[in-house]
Chains A and B, each alone.
Chain A
Amino acid sequence: MAQIPNLDNAALNLTALREQSQKELLSIIKSIRGKKCLVIDPKLAGTLSLILQTSALKEYGTELRILSADPLQTECPKVVYLVRSQLNFMKFVANQIKNDESKGLQREYHLYFVPRRIVACEKILEEEKVHQKLTIGEYPLYLVPLDEDVLSLELDYSLQECLIEGDTSSVWHVAKAIHKLEFAFGVIPNIRAKGVASTKAAELLNHMQLEDPVSMDNMGIPEIDTVILLDREVDMVTPMCSQLTYEGLLDEMLEIHNGSVEVDASIMGAQQDGKKVKVPLNSSDKLYKEIRDLNLHVVVQVVRQKATSIQQDYAEVKSTNTQSVSELKDFVKRLHSLPEIARHVNLAQHLQSFAAKPAFHARVEIEQIILEAQTYETCYEYIEEIIQKQEPIETVLRLLVLFSLTNGGLPKKNFDYLRREILHSYGFEHMPLLYNLEKAGLVKRQESRTNWPVISRALQLIVDIKDPEKY
C-alpha cells in the first residue's frame, strides 16, 4: 500500500488539489533541463512523500539529497534547492555553494522557496554573497492532504513562533492557505474563529478576499460551508495528556510522520532483523479506518473477532462442499482483508508491550489525578520524584505543564523548587526552555485560584478512562 493516501472518498475533491501540487512540482523539475540534484529540506522531504512518489522525480534526471549543514555530494552540474522559507536553511544553502566554489566546482543553482519567497531569507543569502548565483523561484505548497479528511499546513513551529517569538507569519500562512482553497472550492460563507491568532487569521482572510476576490462566476454553490479556526491555546490540556486510542498510542510510542510509522521489520513479522519498514496509516486501510480512534483494548477485541470469523469461514469452506459460487466469492473477498488484519495484530501487539508496563499505567493514573485537581500534594510529589529520578524531560515537562494548567499555576515556593530541581537534574542549559514555558503561560507562578475544576465539570471535559468501552 502506498503512503500517498487514497482520497477518493474525501468530501472535497482533494485529489485535484494534490494533482495541482504534483503538476507544479514536476513543471519546476522539467523547467530545468538535464541532470540535476534536487536538495530538499528534511521536513519537506517527508511532506512531498504525501504528494508524489519520489521515484517519479528520478525519471527527469533528478538525484535526491536532503539539505544539511554538510557539503553537497553530487556529480550533477545543476543543483535545485527546494526548501521551506526558513532562515536557518539559508546558511546551509550558502555554505554548500561556498564549499563548491572553494573546490572550484562550477554549478548552476536554483532555489525554490516553499511556499513563497521571503525577504528575510533572501537578505541572508545576500549577506552570504550567494544571492547572485541563485535563480530564485517559488513552489506554492500551502496545504497537503494527509488523509481523506485531513489537510495539513505543515507548520510545526507555529505555536512557538506565535507565543514565544511573536512571529505571526504562520497566521498569514493559514489565511493564505484558506484563501487558496477558496479558489478551488468557492468562497467560504462562514468563518468562525476562537482565540487571538484565529481571529487575526479570519481578519486577514477577509482582507485577502477583498484584495484578490475569488470569481464566483463559473462556480456553483461553495463546496465548503463553514471554516472553524481554533487556536491551539484554547486547549493546551489535551496534548499534555497521554493518548490512549490506537492511533494515539501509535503516535505516542512510534511517532506517526506523514501518515506512516517506521518500525523494525521484526515487529511486522518479517524475518530480516534490524531493517526498518514503513507502515502507512491512513483511511485507505479500511480496518485502520474502523479502529484508529478506538481504545487499544477494544482494538484487540475487534481484531480478534475479525480473525476468528475468517478462521471459522475457512473451516467451513474446508469441511463442507455445499457453498455456492457467490458464497465462495464472498469468502475470498474477506480473505483479502487478511494482510490488513495481520498488520494491525502486529502493531497492536507491539503497542501492548509498552502499554502493559506499570510505568505507563502509573503515568495515565497520575494524569487522571492531576486532571481531577483534587489532591495537590500527590501530584506535586509525583512530579518531584520523577525529576529526581531523571525520567525523560519531555515526560516531566508534560506533567508539569498539565499540573500548572489545571492548578492555575504553582505557589511560588514550589514553582521555584521544581524549576531548580529540573535545572539540577537535567542541566542549566534548560533555563531558556523554562523561561519560554513561563512566557507562554504553560508553567507559571500561581496568581489566582484556578477555574479548571469548574470548567471541566461544567463542560464535562474529562472521560473516565477506567472504562475503556466508553469511547
Chain B
Amino acid sequence: MSSSVSVAAEWDLLSDRFYRRITIYSPLPWSSPATTTASSSGGGSSGVGRLDLSTHIVAAAPFGGPIAAVRDDSKIVQLHSEPSRRRLLLFSSSGHPLASSPWTPHLPRLHSLAFSSSLNLLALLSDGSLLRFRLPDLNPITSSSPVPLLPPASGGVADAVFWGGGVAILTEDNRVVVTTDIEVDDPHPRELADPGVAEDEQVLCMAVVEPQFVMSGSPEVLLAVGDRVVAVDEDGVQVLGEALEIGPVQKMAVSPNGKLLAAFAHDGRLLVIPTDFSRIIFEYECDSALPPDQIAWCGLDSVLLYWSEVLLMVGPNGDPVQYNYDEPVMLIPECDGVRILTNSSMEFLHRVPDSTTLIFGIGSMSPAALLYDARDHYDKQSAKAYDNYQLISSSLPEAIEACIDAAGYEFDVSRQHTLLRAATYGLAFCSRFPHGRFQEMCKILRVLNAVRDPEIGMPLTVKQYKLLTATVLIGRLINANQHLLALRISEYLNLNPEVVIMHWACEKITASAAIPDVVLLEGLLDKLRLCKGISYAAVAAHADNSGRRKLAAMLVDHESQSSKQIPLLLSIDEQDKALQKSIDSGDTDLVYLVLFHIWQKISVEKSAPLDFFGVINARPLARDLFIAYARHSKHEALKDFFLSTGRLQDAGFLLLKESRELERNPMASKGSPLHGPQVRLVEQAHRLFAETKEHLFESKSAEEHAKLLRVQHQLEVSTKQAIFVGSSVSDTIKTCIVMGNERAAVKVKSEFKVPDKRWYWLKSCALATVGNWDALETFSREKRPPGGYKPFVEACIDAGQKTEALKYIPKLTDPGERSEAYARLNMTEEAKKAASEANNGDELFGRLKSTLAQNTLIDTLRDRLSFQGTY
C-alpha cells in the first residue's frame, strides 16, 4: 500500500478529522509576467494584467464563479506597466481574464464588490448607492447611474454584508438598511429597527443570518456593539447572550447552515455559539488578541482565521492547524469547504471525505482500501489481487461505493481514474451492485472535468455541482458565452438544448451588427433547426429589440406556434400578415387579438374606420367575428360597417332589433303618443330592405309591421286599453273579437288581407274563449267555411264543451277526422263507426285500440306493484 501513503501524507489532522488543501490552479495567468504581457498586448483586453489582492477590492462568486476586482484607490499602489485609469476586471476562477471595462471616474469611493446569486456583479459605493453589471461583458444593468439604497442624509456606508440575494448596510449614523430584491430593476431597500447604538459606542462588526434560515423569511442582522451583540430585524432589536459574558466581539461569521456563529472576542478567544446565543459550544484561545483580517467557516466543522501570513484552522477539539502564506489571501467560503485565492494560486481546503479516508488513510484495512489495493495488484498481474478480493467479498458493495464516491471528490483526473478502475474491478465480481451509480459518477466527473479546465475555470466539487444543479451550471456557461460546451453538456446529460441555442442565437444577433440580415438568418437557422419546438418568436423578438426589424420578420416566419408568432408580428407592425396568420390558425381568440390591435391603432391614429372595414371585409372570419363582437357593444360602429360595405339588409335587421328594444323599454313605448320612434325605426328598416331585390319579403314585412303598430296604436286609443301593441296580427284580431269589437276585427282582417281559412280559426277560437256559443253557431251558418268545420269542432273540444262539439262533428267531411274527434270525447262506439267508414280504417282502428288500452295497462301495473315513493 505504498502508493496510498503519499496521498494521506498531504493531510492535516484537526482533532480526529483530516483536512486537505488541494491546489486547483497554479500559477494563475495573472501572476505570470509572460501571460500578462501577452494578454495586455491583445487588443480589447488591455489593462487586464496583474492582479494583486492587496491592492484591489475583490469579489469572488461561490460555486466556482468568477472573480471581479477594482483597484483600491484608498491604498498607495506602485503601478508597473498598468494604465493609471482604474478598470473593472473580471477573471475566471482559474485567473483567465474574461472582461474589463473602465471604472467610471468621479463616482463616490467604492466600498465593496459582490456577486448576486444569478451572477450579476454588484458594486456598493460609499454613499450607499449600487451599481450593477451584467456578465460576461460587464455592461451596466438598467442604467449606468447608481441606484441609491440608503435614505438621504444617512452619512454613507459604514459596513456592508452581501449574500446571494441581497445586502445589509450599516450606515455611518448606525442605522441598518436591508435590500432583499437586489436583482430587480427597481430594488426596495427597507430600514430595519433602530439598533440603539449610543453616541459614544461603536459598531465593531456585523454579520447576517440569511433570510432562508430565519423563521420570518426576512434577514436578521447581528451587530457587535460595545460588549453586547444585538440582533436587528424589521420588528425590533434583541440583545443576545448577555449571560454568556463574551465581551466585545471583533469579528463574526455565520455558518453555511445559518445555525452557528463564529465570533472572535477582544481577548483573543474564538467562540462558536448558536445564532440564538443560548450557550457557548466551544472556545479556543488564540495567541493573538488582534482580530483576524478574515474569518470564514470551512464546511460546518471548522473555522478559518486569517491574519497576515497566517491562516489558522480551528476545530471543536484539539490543536488548530496552521498554514503559512507569504502573500495576501482571500477566503471564498463554499458549501463544503473554502477556496483560498492568492496572487498566484487557487486552492481548495476541505475536510477529507470519509470514503477517501477509508481508502487512503494510513494503515487503513477497510474493504475499500483493499479493493483499491487489489486493483493495483491486478494491474501488476499479481495473484494477490484475488487474495484481496476474497478478504472483502462479503462487503464488496460498500467497497465499490467508497471507491466511486472517493473518485468524485478528486480534482486530479488520474486519481479519479485509478479509483474508478478499482471500482470496476469490484464490479466485475458484484452483479448486484447498481451499475447506474457507476455510470452516473462517470458522467458527473466528465462534466466537472470539462468545466474545471483552466480555459473555463469553474472548479466545482461534486457536492457543489449537485447543489447548483446541471441546469444552473448550463445557465452559467451560456452567460459566460461558453455555448459550445453548454450545448455539449446538455446533449450529454439529455437536457433540452433549447435554452442554450436560444441564448446563443440572441447573443449572435447582438454581436453581429455588421452582418447582413440574410447571411445572419442562415447562420441562425442552421443552429435553431437543431432544436425541435424552439421558439423562433423569442429570437425574433430579440432581433426586433436589437433594432433589426427585417431580420425579426424573417425569423418570425419560422415560428410554428401561432400564439407566439402573432403578437410579435403585431409588435413589428406586420398587421396584415398577423391577421392572415391568425385566420389560418383557426383560433378565433388570436383573430380578435389582431382585430383589436388594428382597431386601437386606427383610433389612435385617427384614420377613417373605413380602412379597418376594408381590411376585415376581405376576410370572412375576421369580418364575422367583428360583427359578433360589435353586436354586443358597438351598435353604431356595426351599423356604419354594414352601411359602408353594402350590407343593407343587416343594417335593417339591426334597426329592427333596436325597435324591439324600444318596445321592451316601457318608458319609450307606453305613454309615448304614436310609438313614434319605434315605428320610425321599422320604417327605416323597410326602406333599407327595399334597396335590394333579394329582400322584398323582408321589406314588405317591415312595411306591414309598421302598419300594424299604427293600427294597434289607434285601437289602444279608441279602446283606452294598452293591450294591443306588441301582439301579432292574429292576436290583435282575436283580442278584438274577445272584446266584442267585431268591426275592428274585420277591419284588421281586410287591412292585412287575412285569408278566410285563418279568419275561421281565429274567430272560432276567440268566440269559444269567451264562451259565446250562440255567436259561434251563427258564425258557422254564415256560409260554408272554406276549410270545413274543423275550427268549430276543435274550439269546442278544447273548451270542454261536448254538447257544442257534437253540433259540428257530423259536419266534418273526413271520416278520419270525425273518428278522432269522437275519440277525443271518449265516445268509443261512434269513433269506431267513423273509423270503419274511412279507407284507412284498419290502421285508425288499431291506433285507437292501442291508445285506449295502454293507459289502463300501465295503471294496473302500477297498482299491482304498489311501491309508491320508492325510486
Residues of A participating in the B interface, judged by any CB pair closer than 8 Å: 87-88, 91, 116-120, 123-124, 127, 161, 165-169, 171-172, 175, 200, 203-204, 207, 210-213, 268-271, 279, 297, 300, 303-304, 307, 311, 338-339, 341-343, 345-346, 348-349, 352-353, 356, 358, 361-362, 384-385, 388-390, 416, 419-421, 423-429, 431-432, 435, 466
Contact = CB atoms under 8 A, between A and B. Distances in A.
Contacts of B731: 427
B494 to A, nearest CB: 12
B719 interface: no
A270 to B, nearest CB: 5
A166 B731 CA distance: 35
A427 B871 CA distance: 44
Contacts of B667: none
B869 A167 contact: no
Contact of B758 (A124, A207, A388): A388
A97 B653 CA distance: 32
A385 B787 contact: yes
Interface stretch (B192-200, B350-358, B415-423, B702-710): B702-710
Nearest to A304: B861
25 contacts: A87-B629, A119-B593, A123-B629, A124-B633, A167-B628, A168-B588, A200-B586, A303-B861, A307-B865, A339-B870, A345-B861, A362-B820, A384-B757, A389-B765, A420-B697, A423-B701, A423-B729, A425-B758, A427-B726, A427-B731, A428-B708, A429-B660, A431-B698, A432-B657, A435-B653
B854 A345 contact: no
Interface in B680-709: 697-698, 701-702, 704-705, 708
A348 B854 CA distance: 11
A122 to B, nearest CB: 9
Interface in B834-871: 843, 847, 850-851, 854-855, 857-859, 861-862, 864-865, 867-871
Given A172-B589, A420-B697, A428-B728, 5 more contacts: A165-B627, A168-B621, A270-B869, A362-B820, A390-B761
A358 B823 contact: yes
A42 to B, nearest CB: 18
Given A200-B586, A420-B701, A427-B727, A213 B629 contact: no
B871 A346 contact: yes
Interface string B309-349: 00000000000000000000000000000000000000000
Nearest to B795: A389
B57 to A, nearest CB: 46
Interface string B715-734: 00000000000111111000
A311 B866 CA distance: 11
Contact of B730 (A167, A271, A419, A424): A424
A311 B864 contact: yes
Contact of B761 (A87, A200, A279, A388): A388
Contact of A424 (B702, B758, B864): B758
B858 A349 contact: yes
Nearest to B859: A349
Give the dominant DSSP class at B's interface.
helix
Given A269-B871, A270-B869, A279-B871, A345 B621 contact: no
B561 interface: yes
Contacts of A119: 589, 592-593, 596
B824 interface: yes
B217 interface: no
Interface in B653-675: 653, 656-657, 660
B824 A389 contact: no
A118 B589 contact: yes
B412 interface: no
Contact of B625 (A167, A269, A304, A353): A167
A390 B730 contact: yes
A127 B633 contact: yes
Given A207-B586, A388-B758, A300 B870 contact: no
Contacts, number: 187
B585 interface: yes
A156 to B, nearest CB: 16
B758 A421 contact: yes
Interface in B589-625: 589, 592-593, 596, 620-621, 623-625
A402 B627 CA distance: 30
Given A167-B624, A345-B858, A352-B855, A428 B869 contact: no
Task: Kindly state the interface size class of chain B when it binds its partner.
Answer: 35 or more
B560 interface: yes
Contacts of A349: 858-859, 862
A466 to B, nearest CB: 8
Interface in B542-600: 560-562, 585-589, 592-593, 596
Contacts of B623: 166
B570 to A, nearest CB: 12
A167 to B, nearest CB: 5
A382 B787 CA distance: 11
Contacts of B589: 116-120, 169, 172
A429 B727 CA distance: 10
Nearest to A116: B589
A87 B632 contact: yes
B533 interface: yes
Given A119-B596, A300-B854, A389-B794, A424 B632 contact: no
B561 A211 contact: yes
Contact of A342 (B533, B727, B871): B871
Contacts of B378: none
B325 to A, nearest CB: 55
- Residue of A124, A168, A424, A429 most packed against chain B (CB within 10 A): A424
Contact of B621 (A124, A166, A207, A343): A166
Contact of A388 (B632, B698, B757, B861): B757
A434 to B, nearest CB: 8
B705 A345 contact: no
Nearest to B861: A304
A128 to B, nearest CB: 9
Nearest to A362: B820
Contact of A425 (B730, B791, B851): B730
Contacts of B657: 432
A175 B562 CA distance: 15
B754 interface: yes
Nearest to A347: B871
Contact of B869 (A271, A300, A353, A388): A271
B398 to A, nearest CB: 34
Contacts of A390: 730, 761
A39 B657 CA distance: 30
- Residue of B562, B625, B697 most packed against chain A (CB within 10 A): B697
Interface in B74-106: none
B586 A172 contact: yes
Contacts of A466: 843
Contacts of B726: 427
A300 B758 contact: no
Contacts of B628: 87, 161, 165-167
Given A167-B588, A424-B752, A300 B660 contact: no
B543 to A, nearest CB: 22
A425 B867 CA distance: 47
Contacts of A385: 757, 761, 787, 790
